[in-house]
Amino acid sequence: MIYQETIPAAHLGNRARSAAVRTDNMKNNSLKQKKHSIVEVAMEIALTPEILNTVSEQVSFYAAVSAGMSTSVGGIGPLLRERIIAQAEDGAEVIGVTLLYDKVWMQRWHAWGQFYLDRVKAGDYLRRVLKEHHDPLRIKLFDGTDAELTVWEAAYGKARVFFLDNPDIGAIVYPGGFDAPLHTEDPNRWADDMRLRQSWIVGRGALALLKRLNVAPDTIILSETPTIFAHDGLVEDAFTADPLFKKTTYIFNDHTPLEYAHPVWPEESLERLRFNPSYYRGLDTYTRDPQRVDITQLLIDACDGVYGVSKIHGDVMRSMPTLQKYAAKIEVITNGVSPEIWQAASLKEFRRMNDETLLARKNEEKLAFINWLWLRYKFDSAWKEDKKTKPIILWMRRVTGYKRLDILKEIVRSDRLRGRLVRLNLCLLVGGRIHQQDSHSDRLVFELLDLIQKHPELEDQVIILDNFNIWEAPKIFPGIDASIMVSDVGKEAAATGFMKAQMNGAAVIATPDGAVPESVVFHNPAQKVKGANGFEVTYYNGSPTPDSFLDALDQFRAVYDNTPLRAEYIRNALEQHDQVSVHRVAREMIGMCERLKKKCKTDQQLKVGALL
């Protein structure tokens, strides 16, 4: 037996603490190596199709829609679901921990054709179908009060995902001032406090759950800054340097370069939240201004590893002023999607098909989708027949400023631009989630609907779909001809919607941002490009323009109308399967986890040896 004494962290200083708390007792080097155990902690983990199907069967169709939306606001929810399943399938022991949310905001329609947001229940539906652990967890909050958490469990392939449930704190995902109880004196302050409480219970609750399960994880992955409290040593409470986590390595996974995801907190907030001062007083942001401590910097400094979700995102992170000193530490694992969930079964053997068969299969998927959409949204029969001969393009993304849905509003408003769109004779399906506090995006969709209603020639060309959700989305992607991904330069971390489209042979109409350059090869109207499968929306001063967007649509339409060329582009999109697959992501993540584990072990042995 090899025994190494644990040196108190206070004797080693902050930077050596990660090594000191990870001593290694090895019984026998000849023993078979155990599976690497990974715990994924996230504010949202999307529900599996099996769970949502059960909700639909036992409750209702709309219950499944609302339940699905409650755990999947943006791309993180589906991403976490799929990589948890894939990592477990690839041999790791994986646990996911998230919250169960009681309500969700959904889009409703007024009789006169405008939409509004309505808060509806969702948690009750999940409590009917998830497995309950009858002994609740009890944890101390940062203010010293107690919180009781009901634990619900679900199988995600070979992995397990746990939902921590406190209806008062988990009233709604990412709460805003609109969610505050009636007569709350300061709704925005209430929302800020509630988000901190959610962050606390998903983090410290995850640690309490692991102790209950007696699971000592090799790696805990923190997705975005709200999961910060899942790092055992960052705050001072019962979990600080707990022996169960002494060998655990921590990885921070950033998902967005936008400011809202990189908060700065004053020292009094850190003190209120019981942060260990040794973790932040050595940061340069603290040295410059104790009232503006960069939390992303704090996490990257404290964790053993960090990665962005595309090559561009990694570069953007490394160039951030507060993160430049960590440039060598910031790695990249580009996001991917699950072929088992997203790819049509009829397209999986595309390499064995000739062009005629491939086009026929793709058309079958399109007709099935049109029929589903016709029934789902109760369009008339003429609508269904009309869409069979038109290219269908999907613009389904979370509605927020940098994703630039306002381009479509500008096109509809202008006689010249609208004329260009009408002449293309295509069907544009538009929609996405809107945060209840985002009045700008709310107004944008309201104005877009109003403009479309004023121009009857657009009513069958631009169709607004409500409540885009994780349950129904797999029915959409196999039938579309193209998918849109536009953003301001450097603002998109990765994006995965276009990957789901590529999995099904659809072209990508996009700006060269996020993960797009890693699997999309842009068409060039002047010369043939090997492997071309997409159409570039070019930037002007860092932003896409209505004309550059319409230029890309023109190029797409020309390829679509050329049958042999369309077959080639469908095939080229499908050829990106391995690059956009979550199975690649799982392999790279497990490799990173194991490599960091070995590095931490070696570093710890060297540091301990130097002190002896």
Model pLDDT for residues 397-434, shown as the tens digit of each residue: 877 777 888 999 999 999 999 999 999 999 999 987 77
Q: How far apart are CA 83 and CA 40, in angstroms?
A: 9
What single DSSP character describes residue 466? -
Residues 491, 257 contacting (CB under 8 angstroms): yes
Residue where the block lists tokens 């962050």? 199
- Both tokens assigned to 577: 């399967």
Q: Mean pLDDT over residues 117-144, rounded?
A: 95
Q: What is the pTM assigned to this prediction? A: 0.91
Residue type, 542: G
What count of residues does the chain have?
612
Residue type, 8: P
Which residue, among 545, 522, 540, 519, has the nearest Cα to 532 in the 3D structure?
522
Q: What is the chain's mean pLDDT, rounded?
A: 90
Which residue, among 305, 297, 209, 168, has the nearest Cα to 248 in the 3D structure?
305
User: Which SS3 state, helix, strand or coil, does residue 2 take?
Assistant: strand
Sorting pLDDT into bands at 50, 70 and 90, what band is 609? low
Q: Looking at residue 200, what is its pLDDT?
A: 98
The yes-or-no verdict on residue 37 having pLDDT over 70 is yes
In the chain, count H helices and then E strands: 24, 21
Cβ-count burial 490-503 (b if 16+ within 10 Å, e if not) = bbbbbbbbbbbbbb
Q: Looking at residue 15, what is its pLDDT?
A: 37
Angle, vertex CA 84, rays to CA 200 and CA 470, nearest 5: 85
Q: Looking at residue 603, what is its pLDDT?
A: 76
Q: Looking at residue 158, what is its pLDDT?
A: 97
Residues 405, 399 contacting (CB under 8 angstroms): yes
Q: Mean pLDDT over residues 35-61, rounded?
A: 97
445-502 tens-digit pLDDT: 888 888 888 898 898 899 888 888 999 999 999 999 999 999 999 999 999 999 999 9
Q: Looking at residue 1, what is its pLDDT?
A: 26
The yes-or-no verdict on residue 50 having pLDDT over 80 is yes
| Domains of the chain by start residue, with CATH | 9-336+584-611 (3.40.50.2000), 339-580 (3.40.50.2000)
Q: Mean pLDDT over residues 289-297, rounded?
A: 96
SS3 content of the chain, % helix, strand, coil (to 5): 45, 20, 35
- Both tokens assigned to 568: 């080639």
Residues 403, 493 contacting (CB under 8 angstroms): no
- Both tokens assigned to 123: 């948690």
Q: How far apart are CA 225 and CA 473, in angstroms?
A: 27
Residue 293 CA to chain centroid, in angstroms? 25
Q: Looking at residue 30, what is its pLDDT?
A: 32
The yes-or-no verdict on residue 260 having pLDDT over 70 is no
Q: Mean pLDDT over residues 126-141, rounded?
A: 96
What pairs with residue 138 in β-bridges? 148
Q: Looking at residue 33, what is its pLDDT?
A: 57
